[in-house]
């Protein structure tokens, strides 16, 4: 009897520990390469995402750092890319909401 309880507990724990709930699925970006490196839920229950995009209007493809804010349903509230006029590649690898409600991204 003891082995059966252990086995049932293990199966239930395994199922619950791997269960994930998808809040929404969203594709952000253009026709070229985009990649998200970090996502964080915000205090308004939305999300802030950072990474890079290669879908700019430039003739030469390069990677521009990107940061985007989504609401809790996945609708884009704002999105910014950063280009200093050079063809250098850049990425944001981490984003966090600050205590004053702003955002900080590093790359």
Assigned token pair, 96: 């966090």
Angstrom distance (rounded) from CA 81 to CA 65: 6
Q: Half-sphere exposure (CA, 13 Å, Cβ side) for 96?
A: 6
The tens digit of pLDDT for each residue in 8-17 reads 444 434 444 4
Q: Whose CA is closest to 81, among 61, 66, 60, 63?
A: 66
The tens digit of pLDDT for each residue in 73-89 reads 889 999 888 876 666 67
Q: What is the mean pLDDT of the chain?
A: 75
| Residue 88 pLDDT | 67
Q: What is the pTM of this model?
A: 0.70
Q: What is the dihedral of CA 22, 76, 62, 58, to 10 degrees?
A: 150
| Residue 61 pLDDT | 67
């Amino acid at each position: 009897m003891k082995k059966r309880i252990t086995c049932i507990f293990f199966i239930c724990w395994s199922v619950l520990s791997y269960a994930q709930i998808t809040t929404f699925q969203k594709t952000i970006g253009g026709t070229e390469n985009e990649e998200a490196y970090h996502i964080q839920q915000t205090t308004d229950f939305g999300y802030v995402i950072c990474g890079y995009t290669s879908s700019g209007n430039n003739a030469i493809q390069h990677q521009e750092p990107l940061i985007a804010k989504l609401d809790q349903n996945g609708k884009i509230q704002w999105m910014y890319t950063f280009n200093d006029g050079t063809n250098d590649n850049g990425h944001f690898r981490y984003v966090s909401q600050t205590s004053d409600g702003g955002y900080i991204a590093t790359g």
